[in-house]
Structure 1
Amino acid sequence: MTLLSVNVNKIAVLRNSRGGAEPDVVRAAEACLAAGAHGITVHPRPDQRHIRTGDVHALSALTRARGVELNLEGNPFAPAREGYPGFLALCEAVRPAQATLVPDGDGQITSDHGFDFSRDSERLLPLMAGLKAMGCRVSLFVDAGCDGLESAVRIGADRIEIYTGPFAEAAARGGAVDELARCARTAREAHALGLGVNAGHDLSQDNLGGFLAGVPDVLEVSIGHALIGEALYAGLGPTVRRYLGILDASAGGDQD
């Protein structure tokens, strides 16, 4: 069955918009885990626009206590600055179960592209080795249809995370066949090379079932923006359980 890791960045966005400690990121993560989520994802950025270093430490303690995975996302090339020690330093401090490397810049509103392996592989190689030495499973954010997955294997990746933004946009327009095929092709190529496959970005209750029906053997989906938005109306617990129902239905379909 595909696992659900809930991204709680948006809880921190709301907190930071007012200052203070509410809403509480850890309490929100606890609610997601109580409803059955399999893990928590956060993507701390150097500008600290949402998740902050202290949040990472608190969520690490929570996930360890609950025996679930923390997936820490970030740009390994971004330099440290005041309040942000750098992605590898954060990983060294909290030892997340999974480190997902994403090539996003400070000016991006959200992650919107994967690595270019022809350009980035050699820069990633020593960083990957450092993360693996920390005991982290390492996943690389990739575009559907990308070239160079062999390089991901060579530099030591355990998994890829397929960027599903274009699929979600196409699904919203009512024509996701081509984007779904690109995602499926990339997943099959990764599997053939021995890489695990994760997926994330703009997945929602509306499109998740169709995505999993078309893309084989997805190990984990990381979902935040849509889930938190839907939870404003239905509540965190019921919303997480609805996602788990979609995952259960997809696993049942795979078994038939």
Structure 2
Amino acid sequence: MKSPRTLLSVNVNKVALLRNTRHLGIPSVTRAATLCLQAGAHGITVHPRPDERHIRPQDVRELHALLQRDWPRAEFNIEGNPFHNLMEFVRELRPQQCTFVPDSEGQFTSDHGWDLRTDGERVKPLIAQARSLGVRVSLFMDADPSAMPLARALGADRIELYTEPYAAAWGTARQEEQLRRFAAAGQAALDAGLGVNAGHDLNRDNLAAFVQRVPGVSEVSIGHALVADALEMGYAATVRAYLEALAVP
């Protein structure tokens, strides 16, 4: 299989969500991560929320230890709100990447990017703190080209495009409009000197078109759809399917 230019990071939050419905320790988050990495995934993402409804602090530490021990070339990406619990993990574990997400406590799922005109000055020192620890910082952003220079001015290394609007438009008359919108945002990020990540509701159907049209996407973080597919296909076949979608020229 052709190597993809865009790397795949598997978000294992939904594995933890299922495990947390019982007290048996299954399915195992570390086992899921291992199977995905064995199948060719390039990294693992977690989003430990303050209410611990899926990923818990011990999961974050166990996954960090797993990657350091067995997968030193894989990326560990920890997402979350830097004003809640994210920075504790960043200071303790120093993952390769942290993604700042403007979620409220108890939020159902991430549903918007940063408004850097409002929150930029609060976020700036935390970006600097993470980078001083050797951690790459990505900011979760809407597809707004005008905001990309602001992200760079605050010291971010990358942005992660919040892709739910694209996913919602997939297969409708608005699909092309959304692709143009995200392509413009990706190009603006590149022009500002930022790397580009993407994630939220990307799946096997809509992924290839996205990475073909949006320039310079370094990494996608995919959890819900990938884990749902894995319930039917298994982790290994599912990861390979996503890698094939990323490798489409």
Query: TM-score over 0.5 for the alignment?
Result: yes
Specify the alignment match of 2:83 in structure 1: 77
Structural mapping, 1:1-256, within 5 Å: 1-65=5-69, 66-67=71-72, 68-78=74-84, 86-145=85-144, 147-173=146-172, 175-249=174-248, 253=249
Contact 1:76–1:87, Cα closer than 8 Å, also in 2: yes
When the two structures are aligned, how many residues end up with a matched partner? Answer: 243
Describe the superposition over 1:184-203 as per-residue Cα deviations: whole angstroms up to 9, x where unpaired: 00000010111000000000
For the residues of structure 1 that align with 2:217 and 2:38, how far apart are their CA atoms?
Answer: 23
Output the amino acid matched with 2:68: R
Output the amino acid matched with 2:41: A
Question: What's the offset of the Cα at 1:172?
Answer: 4.4
Contact 2:146–2:188, Cα closer than 8 Å, also in 1: no
For the residue of structure 2 that corresponds to 1:19, the secondary structure is coil
Question: What's the offset of the Cα at 1:29?
Answer: 0.3
Describe the superposition over 1:191-243 as per-residue Cα deviations: whole angstroms up to 9, x where unpaired: 01110000000000000011111111100000000000011111010000011
For the residues of structure 2 that align with 1:229 and 1:7, how far apart are their CA atoms?
Answer: 12
Output the amino acid matched with 1:72: I
Question: What's the offset of the Cα at 1:62?
Answer: 1.3
CA RMSD of aligned residues (A): 1.1
Question: What's the offset of the Cα at 1:4?
Answer: 0.2
Which is further off, 20-29 or 166-175?
166-175
Contact 1:115–1:141, Cα closer than 8 Å, also in 2: yes
Contact 1:42–1:72, Cα closer than 8 Å, also in 2: yes
For the residues of structure 2 that align with 1:173 and 1:10, how far apart are their CA atoms?
Answer: 28
For the residue of structure 1 that corresponds to 2:210, the secondary structure is helix
Contact 1:117–1:147, Cα closer than 8 Å, also in 2: no
Output the amino acid matched with 1:100: T
Extract unaligned runs of 5+ from structure 1: 79-85
- Percent of pairs with identical residues: 53
For the residues of structure 2 that align with 1:122 and 1:185, how far apart are their CA atoms?
Answer: 25
For the residues of structure 1 that align with 2:174 and 2:32, how far apart are their CA atoms?
Answer: 34
Extract unaligned runs of 5+ from structure 2: none
Output the amino acid matched with 1:228: V
Contact 2:44–2:76, Cα closer than 8 Å, also in 1: yes
Classify 1:5/1:182 alpha carbon distance in 2 versus 1 (closer, same or farther; 3 Å).
same
Describe the superposition over 1:23-66 as per-residue Cα deviations: whole angstroms up to 9, x where unpaired: 10000000000000000000000000100000000111111221
Contact 2:145–2:186, Cα closer than 8 Å, also in 1: no
Contact 1:6–1:41, Cα closer than 8 Å, also in 2: yes
Describe the superposition over 1:108-128 as per-residue Cα deviations: whole angstroms up to 9, x where unpaired: 211000000110110001111
Classify 1:174/1:206 alpha carbon distance in 2 versus 1 (closer, same or farther; 3 Å).
farther
For the residues of structure 1 that align with 2:19 and 2:241, how far apart are their CA atoms?
Answer: 25
For the residues of structure 1 that align with 2:98 and 2:143, how far apart are their CA atoms?
Answer: 20
Question: What's the offset of the Cα at 1:18?
Answer: 1.4
